[in-house]
Amino acid sequence: MPGRRPLVFGNWKMNGLGQDTRALSDRLKAFGPITRGTLGVFPPFTQLQAVAEKLRGSGIVVGAQDCHEAANGAYTGSVSAAMVADTGATAVILGHSERRHGLGESDALVNAKAKSALDAGLALLVICIGETESEYLDKQTLAVLDRQVEGSIPADIDPDRLVVAYEPVWAIGTGRTPSREEIASVHAHLRGRLAAHLKGDGRSVAIQYGGSVKGANAPVILGIADVDGALVGGASLDPVDFAKIFTAGGGSFAAPGS
């Protein structure tokens, strides 16, 4: 696992046909080799192998947006972690709020998927946690996050294979973000919670912030203590803005061809 800062990942969600993802991959490669930090993209399943092949050797992490908890079997329409690895991808996002709250995925299911991903040899798991707006207004944020950490993350995971993405559900795609003080407080709390929960060095785990991160607000968000990077949604589909987020956190590219 590279150094904690900056770690910027783009979740392309259900966006991109072949021509789109090839063009976006080419634009990202054109920025030049990465000399500091870690950049990653998570395309839809239909484009995963093509993007992994396109970005091979670029230093850009390629991962899937989900995987099934079983290694194989009669699960029509599902994709196992081994299938993800077979495409050339090396990472996976698990427990995104759009699956937790849109599809009813539980902490236990996310945990089972994490174990399957580890067994399949995926190098990096991005496990998402976050509170809904009603939980935020009821001041239940920290209690919700504690429950999700305990229930979703295998306690014996190698901390070098884990990234935790804190995404307040009410901020995703809304243009709203918590205050700088709220983000700092939550990330500091998570640092301690992970240290207590994991058998390895939980304090070394990278913690990303996600929720309407753009080039314009990235310098403030990525300058907060204990924020090691960002999980980016819509802005990751704009290569210029995505690169701006990465460099705002201290990431850098070498000149192309250098």
Within-domain flag for 11: yes
Within-domain flag for 192: yes
Within-domain flag for 253: no
- What pLDDT score does 230 carry? 98
pTM of the model: 0.96
Nearest to 133 by CA among 165, 162, 99, 174: 174
Catalytic (active site) residue 187:
no
- What pLDDT score does 258 carry? 53
- What pLDDT score does 200 carry? 86
Q: Which domain holds residue 134?
A: 7-230
Tens of pLDDT, residue by residue over 222-252, are 999 999 999 999 999 999 999 999 999 999 9
Alpha-carbon distance of 65 to 122, in angstroms, equals 13
- What pLDDT score does 2 carry? 46
- E runs forming strands in the chain: 7-11, 34-36, 38-42, 61-64, 91-94, 124-129, 162-166, 206-210, 229-232, 252-253
- How many domains, the chain? 1
Catalytic (active site) residue 96:
yes
Within-domain flag for 257: no
Written as six digits, the tokens of 10 are: 């783009």
Within-domain flag for 58: yes
Please tell me which residue in 98, 105, 131, 167 is annotated as part of the active site. Answer: 167
- Given a cut of 50, the residues of the chain with pLDDT beneath it are 1-2
Q: Which domain CATH number covers 59?
A: 3.20.20.70
| Mean pLDDT score of the chain | 95
Tens of pLDDT, residue by residue over 39-48, are 999 999 999 9
Please tell me which residue in 96, 98, 105, 131 is annotated as part of the active site. Answer: 96
- What pLDDT score does 149 carry? 98
